[in-house]
Structures are given as C-alpha cells and as structure tokens.
Amino acid sequence: MTVPITELRIENAAWASARPRLSVLIPTFRDDPGALLKALDDPSASAEIVVLDDGGSDDMLAERIARRIQALRVPARFVRLSSNEGRAKGRNRLASHARGGHFLFLDSDMLPDTPDFLSRWAAVAETNAPVAFGGFTLDQTPQRPETALHRAMALKSDCTPAPERAREPEKHVFTSNLLVRRDVFETIGFDEGFAGWGWEDVEWAMRVVRQHPILHIDNSATHLGLDAAPTMAAKYEQSAANFARVVASHRDIVSAYPSYKVAKALKPFPLRGVWRPMLKRIALAEAVPVSLRAFAMRLYRASLYIEAV
C-alpha cells in the first residue's frame, strides 16, 4: 500500500492578507535557497514566494528555510513534503499553492543577475504574456575544476541571448527562470509521467507552443549549481526514458534537435557496448582537454538515446 505524501505548511506574517499579482515558485531538494530568497525580498514587486521542499528529509535545512521564510518582507509560504514527488509533480503541486495571475518558476540554485530582476518580471506579467523565459548565465558561478565540463557545455548550448533562443522557442525553455500565466498552466501542466531528471520542461514547452507564443527576454539569473562530470553522466543516463517519452509524443519537433540527429547517426554502429563506455571514460577524465571531454559527453548522451530514435 502506498503511503500518501503529506505536506507541512509554514507562512510568514505577510502571507494571509496579501493579494499578489506574481507567484514565485521555488522547488528544492536538499539545496539551500537562502541566497535566492534574500535576492527576491522586494516588497515593491507585488509578489509572493512559495518554496517546496520535495521530500529532502533534511530537518536542519528545513528549519533554516522556515526561518528565512518567516523573516521575509515579501509574503511567503514554505511547504515541506514527507516524501519526494519528483520534478514534474512537485512543480504542479507548487502551482496549486500560488495565488498570483502569473507564476515564476525558479530553481533553488539560481541567483538573479540584476537588482531589479523581480520587478522586471512583474512588468512582463503586466503585459499578460502567456509564457516567457528569461535565460540563465554563469556570471556569478564560481569556477572549479570539478565542474569545468558542465561549465563548458552550458556556455555553448544553454547560456544564450534571447534572439538566439527565440529561433527555437520551445527548445530553450527551462523551469530555472520561467514565467507562465495562470490560465495557461491550469490547462497545460507538467506531465507527471516523467521520472528522474530531464526533458519534462522542454516537453511542456512543446505542448504550449502549439497553442501560445513563447516570449524570450533577457532577464537572466545565474545557475550556481553546476555538476561534476560523474553527476552529469548519471543524469543523462536517467534522462533516456524521458527522451523516449518526448519522441513518442513530439517526434515532429524533436527530430530537428542535434541530440536526436546524432543518436540517429550513431544507431547503425556495431559494438555499442564497447564504444559507449569509452566515450564516458573520456568525458570523465579530468586530464583530457575540456573541449574533447565535452565532445565525448555529447556523444555519450546521444548514444543513450539511440533506442528512442
């Protein structure tokens, strides 16, 4: 018998009487969003903040988050789950706590790049935009040897200006800095069939773009939480089943993506059990030049997707 997931709620003094126009929604799993909460504490933006601890089971961290929530000037609620629900279902739950007309999804390891970050998002919400993505950078991310590979790959493919993202609007949508109008999300939520890491946000955007325009703007936040190479590889391994789910529903869109095309090109090659692990070893080898490691990691990721194409 499955034990139901329960939630504990804590609000600050400003929560009960607030009538926010913008709801900032922050999921966290064993990460401390303290720096982000401090940066978002702007009462002039007519916003509220909801933080979801998605079953992280860290009592000391939960206590710190609860204290920070209660100290904020902005209306804020902390929701703590008894067990992990996952990226898609957890964000859907977050949205159920929101009271604003627009939702701003932010990952807990993000940090705004400008002091007026929240007020700029509030201004976009005032235009009634259905969906908008603000982009992300590594401008404030410390440079460390163990995360050099992730940095190189993110700078090449993810940290892109708005005009470039707008060419493929659904592809460059991540829940790390995403504004969604309430009625859009109420009709198109995240697919809870996704498990583990990867693709649930892009797949959501694929469904959205068939009905609504996706606006890309430059209102970026820094991604502080770069991963070491072994963690990256593990996430890509998790993502294979999610990629297959995307292909099953949106082959017309995803077949134009490089990850699909490379997987298709690799599919005829024999001895996959030999060369796939070799690609992983090269990607994880810190003595190898980062450019070669990044190339090997991209090929390794594509090789994991072969069965789906």
d(CA 30, CA 58): 7
Comparing 80-89, 130-139, 152-161, 300-309, which segment has the lowest mean pLDDT? Answer: 80-89
How many residues are there in the chain? 309
Please state whether the predicted TM-score (pTM) of the whole model is above 0.75.
yes
The confidence band for 34, taking pLDDT boundaries of 50, 70 and 90, is: very high
Model pLDDT, residue 54: 86
d(CA 41, CA 52): 17
Is pLDDT at 257 greater than 90 in this prediction? yes
Average pLDDT, stretch 250-258? 94
d(CA 214, CA 1): 42
Model pLDDT for residues 274-291, shown as the tens digit of each residue? 999 999 999 999 999 999
**The tokens 């869109």 sit on which residue?**
253
* Residues 6+ away with beta carbon under 8 Å from 235: 197, 198, 227
d(CA 58, CA 50): 18
The confidence band for 178, taking pLDDT boundaries of 50, 70 and 90, is: very high
Q: Angle of helix 290-304 relative to helix 148-157, nearest 10 degrees?
A: 70
Please give the domain boundaries of the chain with CATH numbers for all domains.
Answer: 7-226 (3.90.550.10), 231-308 (no CATH)
The confidence band for 151, taking pLDDT boundaries of 50, 70 and 90, is: very high
Model pLDDT, residue 1: 52
Q: Angle of helix 229-254 relative to helix 148-157, nearest 10 degrees?
A: 20
d(CA 106, CA 103): 10
d(CA 30, CA 52): 11
Q: Specify the 3-state DSSP secondary structure of 226.
A: coil
182 phi, psi to nearest 5 deg:
-55, -45
The confidence band for 197, taking pLDDT boundaries of 50, 70 and 90, is: confident
Model pLDDT, residue 198: 86
Q: Specify the 3-state DSSP secondary structure of 287.
A: coil
* Residues 6+ away with beta carbon under 8 Å from 278: none
